[in-house]
């Protein structure tokens, strides 16, 4: 009975683990850096938003608020993506350590 429970639990664990994208596997820091770079560019664009987006100014939409909100969303997404990447790295190391314990002398 314990073996049966162990097998079903191990099958569930195998379905949770999924393959990473090729780009994310080779360059795990690229996506958070690009998101944070986009956030910094959007926040710097908000200082001269009337010149960058004149159509929004003609329509009466405050373009600096739009740029700052896009910067906020990109910044939060970049930070959360980097935190998730760190946690996945730690989790992969813990799984490898549990699956392949080294012989202690």
**Model pLDDT for residues 47-105, shown as the tens digit of each residue:** 887 787 888 878 888 888 888 999 999 999 999 999 998 998 888 888 877 777 775 55
Residue 67 domain-assigned (yes or no)? yes
Residue 84 domain-assigned (yes or no)? yes
Count up the domains in the chain and report the number.
1
Residue 87 domain-assigned (yes or no)? yes
User: What is each CA distance from 23 to 28, 32, 42, 50, 86, in whole angstroms?
Assistant: 8, 13, 25, 36, 16
Residue 74 domain-assigned (yes or no)? yes
Residue 22 domain-assigned (yes or no)? no
**Structural tokens at position 12:** 């569930």
User: What is each CA distance from 10 to 17, 24, 102, in whole angstroms?
Assistant: 11, 26, 21
Is a pLDDT exceeding 80 seen at residue 6?
Answer: no
Residue 10 domain-assigned (yes or no)? no
Residues 42, 71: contact at Cβ < 8 Å?
yes
Which conformational region is residue 60 in: left (phi greater than 0), alpha (psi within -120 to 50 degrees), or beta? left
Residue 89 domain-assigned (yes or no)? yes
Domain ranges, residue 83: 29-99
Spatial CA neighbour of 64 closest among 45, 39, 77, 38: 45
Residue 40 domain-assigned (yes or no)? yes
């Amino acid at each position: 009975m314990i073996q049966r429970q162990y097998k079903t639990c191990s099958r569930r664990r195998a379905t949770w683990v999924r393959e990473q994208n090729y780009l994310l596997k080779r360059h795990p820091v690229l996506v958070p850096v690009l998101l944070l770079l986009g956030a910094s560019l959007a926040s710097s664009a908000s200082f001269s938003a009337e010149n960058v987006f004149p159509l929004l100014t003609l329509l009466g939409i405050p373009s600096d608020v739009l740029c700052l909100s896009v910067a906020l969303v990109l910044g939060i997404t970049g930070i959360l993506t980097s935190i998730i990447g760190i946690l996945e790295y730690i989790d992969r190391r813990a799984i490898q350590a549990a699956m392949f314990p080294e012989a202690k002398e």
